[in-house]
Homo-oligomer: A and B are copies of this chain.
Amino acid sequence: MSITIRDVAAAAGVSTATVSRALRGLPHVDAETRERIERVAKQMDYVVSPSASRLASGRTGTIAVITPFFARWFFSTVLSGVESVLQREEIDLLVFEVGDPAVSYRMPPEQRLRGRVDGLLVVALPSDEAEVAELLALGLPVSLIGASAEGVPSVGIDDVAAARTATQHLINLGHERIAIITGQPNPTGFTPASDRERGYRETLAAAGVSLDAQHRAHGYFTVAGGEQAMTSLLAEPRPPTAVFAASDEMAFGAIRALRRHGLVPGRDIAIVGLDGHDLADLLDLTTVVQPVRDLGRMAADALVAQLRLPVADRGAAVKATLVPTTLTVRGSTVP
């Protein structure tokens, strides 16, 4: 039905082997011959059959992104960064949405991956979970985004430092009752959550500001969770004068809670988030900005680099890249 490499070979008066070499830019092909083949191929509108090529070569030219969500700012932004690289590299992008690892999620069984992809990009998943470990054990090149693990390349921010920046900002403003809205109640293997909390604690300690156990609430990284968390903080005998929310979406929820109580963020209670969410500006939220799209880009670049390497040299330079964050001050924290 469709044009095959044989048709092209015949039309160009060469063997299929030569066509294959010529079209893939391999060496040992006469310049003239190559040109002719390319011309003929284009004119015949020939496209290599991916299935055949994959079967014969053992490479798929495909990578998979495994992510808890699509429909949340961080994740979709990462995805966008990833795809910009893959589009350039002409690599196919397969996606799997696995759900909140803190609740219930279903990893793609390895059967959905084996033989379909050359590499894996895992977004913000606790790398110590059994399921994630299985992925790593698949033997494919892997890159983590927004999480890290021993012996696996990763890119993310320095969560401790980012939290320090946020907390220090509140301290500089003169606050002494600084609460945190954190992600999970119990520290899991998902390090960003606990790292951010650690940065907060360390900074308070360093500044000699007391840490009140009552000034900690869980927002589960969601808007609704942030709202609940803030509400409970407000209900305390001595409510905080400032809040560090470990994610912008939780900060949004907190802002909503404030409004519901007739309080104005920045005037009545200072609040700072962490993310650099698209809509932080809209809500006038001070936040520590992480370059999320770049995270996706960099991880994809790193993975592609791995793939281009001869299999032998691959595990060589496993590094955890930390990209810098920047504080953006807005109305939610005013002197």
Contact = CB atoms under 8 A, between A and B. Distances in A.
Given A48-B115, A76-B79, A95-B95, 17 more contacts: A2-B115, A47-B111, A47-B115, A49-B55, A51-B52, A51-B60, A54-B54, A70-B80, A71-B80, A83-B95, A87-B106, A92-B94, A92-B112, A92-B116, A93-B96, A94-B94, A253-B282
Nearest to A69: B80
A97 interface: yes
Work out how many copies of this chain go into the complex.
2
Contact of A71 (B73, B112, B255): B73
Contacts of A191: none
Contacts of A256: 282
Contacts of A293: 71
Interface residues of A, number: 48
Interface in A98-112: 106, 108, 110-112
Contacts of A244: none
Contacts of A71: 73, 76-77, 79-80, 278, 293
A50 interface: yes
Contact of A51 (B51, B76, B90): B51
Nearest to A61: B116
A288 interface: no
Contact of A95 (B48, B93, B111, B283): B93
